Amino acid sequence: MAQVLEFKLPDLGEGLTEAEIVRWLVEVGDVVAIDQPVVEVETAKAMVEVPCPYGGVVTARFGEEGTELPVGSPLLTVAVGAPASDAGTETETEGSGNVLVGYGTGAPPARRRRVRRMAADVVTSVADAPAPAPASAPAPATAETGGRGDGPVPVISPLVRRLARENGLELRELTGSGRDGLILRADVEQALRAAATQEATAQEATLLPPAALPSTTLPPAALSTPAAVTTPTTDGVTRTPLRGIRGAVADKLSRSRREIPDATCWVDADATELMRARAAMNAAGGPKISVLALLARICTAALARFPELNSSVDMEAREIVRFDRIHLGFAAQTERGLVVPVVRDAHVRNTEALSAEFARLTEAARTGTLTPGDLTGGTFTLNNYGVFGVDGSTPIINHPEAAMLGVGRIVPKPWVHEGELAVRQVVQLSLTFDHRVCDGGTAGGFLRYVADCVEQPAVLVRTL
CATH of the domain at 335: 3.30.559.10
Assess whether 381 and 266 both reside in one domain.
Answer: yes
Nearest to 138 by CA among 1, 50, 35: 35
What sign does the CA torsion over 459, 460, 463, 464 have? negative
Q: Exactly one of 251, 314, 345, 439 is catalytic; name it.
A: 439
pLDDT reported for residue 361 = 92
3-class state of residue 320 by DSSP:
strand
CATH number at residue 63: 2.40.50.100
Helix (H, G, I), strand (E, B) or coil at 292: helix
SS3 222: helix
The reported pLDDT for the residue numbered 77 is 93
Within-domain flag for 144:
no
Could you tell me if 296 and 434 lie in one domain?
Answer: yes
As a whole number of angstroms, the distance between CA 391 and CA 413 comes to: 12
Total structural domains within the chain? 2
Asked if 439 is an active-site residue, the reply is: yes
Q: What is the mean pLDDT of each successive set of 10 residues along the chain, which is 464 residues long?
A: 85 68 90 88 73 90 87 90 45 44 38 36 40 39 40 54 72 74 75 63 42 36 42 74 78 91 96 93 87 94 96 95 96 80 94 92 85 88 88 90 95 94 96 96 96 90 54
Q: Is 347 a catalytic residue?
A: no
CB count within 10 Å of CB 266 equals 18
Query: Does an H or E element contain 47, and which?
Result: strand 47-52
Q: What is the pLDDT of residues 27-74, one digit of tens each?
A: 999 999 988 889 988 776 566 788 888 889 999 999 888 888 888 889
Domain final residue, candidates 139, 165, 189: 139
**Host domain of residue 265:** 245-463
Say what the pLDDT of residue 153 is. 55
Does 184 reside within a domain?
Answer: no
Q: pLDDT value at position 349? A: 94
Q: Are residues 130 and 256 in the same domain?
A: no
Domain boundary among 139, 155, 188: 139
Q: Is residue 154 one of the residues assigned to a domain? A: no
Q: How far apart are CA 120 and CA 265, in angstroms?
A: 71
What's residue 452's pLDDT? 95
